[in-house]
Structures are given as structure tokens and as C-alpha cells.
Structure 1
């Protein structure tokens, strides 16, 4: 009998970036941007979720926002182009 490894969270779920939004009243709030992924998979990405991450990285790069990657209790912050390069991609979305 063959056993299958348990599914793990999709890699795209661990990436996010925040944007500081201001309103006319002078107040500010941080807006979290993430893939919203809750999928699990045997692979690194659930089907099509590499594209979800590329889209997130493109938005971050276009806005000049650093990207966070949370891995348990460790959080790493890098620019979007560096994250894409680390994943073996060119500039995100290009």
C-alpha cells in the first residue's frame, strides 16, 4: 500500500504587503494585501496559485511596496523583484 504525504499550505499564502492609506480627514490606516489563499497542496503551489503570487508581486512592485513572507515565527521582508528572483522568476508579471 502506498502512503501519500499530507497536504501543506500553498506557498502563495505566506506572502503579503501593506499599503498606508490616508483619507481627507487626515487619518491613516494600513491595508493588508495578500493572495487570500487557504488552499493546501502536495506541491509548492496549488494549481494556478503561482499566478496569484505573481499578481501580488506585480502590484507590490508597481507601488514600490516591500513584500513580507511569514514562515512560522520568522518574517522576511524583501522588495518584490528580489522575491520573484528568489523563486526563479524574472521581474514579477513581466
Structure 2
């Protein structure tokens, strides 16, 4: 569950960072966040399907968390957020 939340939050952050960096594709703060959340969820699920940082990587230890898996989910979520935000921005620009 922690990894899913990390992916979604990282996706929202990634979408907004991507919107700031790619101003011509920006969807506004809310649009960037929503596109980022979708991309973060997709990116996290893709990593899980590939076996990198998937839900099975959480090790029940003292804290119950595998930091490496969380970092992988955050990276995948952030990148997924930027990618989906950029794709939606491109589609929006083409339709305008």
C-alpha cells in the first residue's frame, strides 16, 4: 500500500515538475497533478509487473518497509507522471 501511495504522490510531483519545465505542454497545476497521478499509478504498476520494486519487494522488518523499493516506486511514478502530462499536453495543443 505504501508503494502505491508513493507512486501516486511522486506522479503528482512529476506532473507538476514536468509542467514547469515544459511550459508549452503545461495543463495548469490541477491538470498537471491529475495527469501526473494517473501516470504515477501506471508507472508504478509497470514497475511491479516487471518485477522491479513490486509489492512483493516489501520486506517485513523493523519498519516493515524496503527503502529501495520505495525509491524505485517514487522514480517510476515521477517519470510516469511527466510522461502522461506531456502526452496529454501534446494532445491538448494539437486539438487547440
- The normalised TM-score by structure 2 is 0.30
Of structures 1 and 2, the one scoring higher in RCO (CA 8 A, sep 6+) is: 2
Structure holding more helix per residue: 2
- The normalised TM-score by structure 1 is 0.31
